[in-house]
Amino acid sequence: MTDARPRRLHLSHDHSGGLPVWTDDGTLGAHELAVLGVPAALIERLGEWNDRIWPVWNARVPRPVEPGWDREERRLAYELQNQLPDVDVVLGAEDDGRPPAEADRPVALTVMAASSVDVPLWSFPFGRCLAVDPGPLFVSEELAGELRRWNARLPRPSVLDPRWCADGLALARALQDELWDVEVFYYEDDDRTPVRGRRR
């Protein structure tokens, strides 16, 4: 990698068993990511994800992705984007033309657990993905505390915990009740519709 800070990073499997973060010049190693400001814990998770996911595609007999590891790909991309707000982080070779995050009140939020944040609120699916501080949004202290405690119980990607997922959806609905002018989404299940439109 050159000394210049990259404008874009791609998250994609590294077949040689390294880290799954690429520039146009090739993959980045742990030291290079650390120099960019990526925390060691996130670098370790990127390597662990790459080690788990690549044998699925490399095997002569295809095997299904372990439960949760396909969803972990986007979680890692979102966390990497949050750590590097001046760099565009995309999955593979996709180019979705995302605009920069707006500084004012978001039009949408997603509740997504992540070990790199305290309160699991994110500024997607619209715009660049960054962690959102609930304070300026006037989220109640009680709900913010419940979100923190739920986030702290984040299970391993290979573990599906239906009760934990249901608890998160209930918190997303409570957040929607408090933020009537913001569209709230929930990441930890397979329903990508806003929680406002889901049956209770």
pLDDT for the residue numbered 164? 95
Quick one: average pLDDT of 139-162? 91
Quick one: average pLDDT of 94-116? 69
pLDDT for the residue numbered 148? 97
Question: Per-residue confidence at 4, pLDDT binned at 50, 70, 90?
Answer: confident
Q: What is the pLDDT of residues 6-39, one digit of tens each?
A: 988 998 887 776 899 999 888 899 999 999 999 9
Quick one: average pLDDT of 119-139? 84
pLDDT for the residue numbered 107? 84
Question: Per-residue confidence at 168, pLDDT binned at 50, 70, 90?
Answer: very high
Q: Is residue 89 within 8 Å of residue 101, measured between CB atoms?
A: no
Nearest to 77 by CA among 2, 183, 187: 187
Token readout for 169 is 């959806």
Domain ranges in the chain are 8-91, 108-197
Do the strands 21-23 and 26-27 form a parallel or antiparallel pair, or are they unpaired?
A: antiparallel
Looking at the chain, list the stretches that DSSP marks H as alpha helix, in order from N- to C-terminal side.
30-36, 40-58, 69-83, 141-152, 162-178
Angle at 138 between CA 145 and CA 130, to 5 degrees: 75
Token readout for 85 is 């707000």
What is the reported pTM?
Answer: 0.72
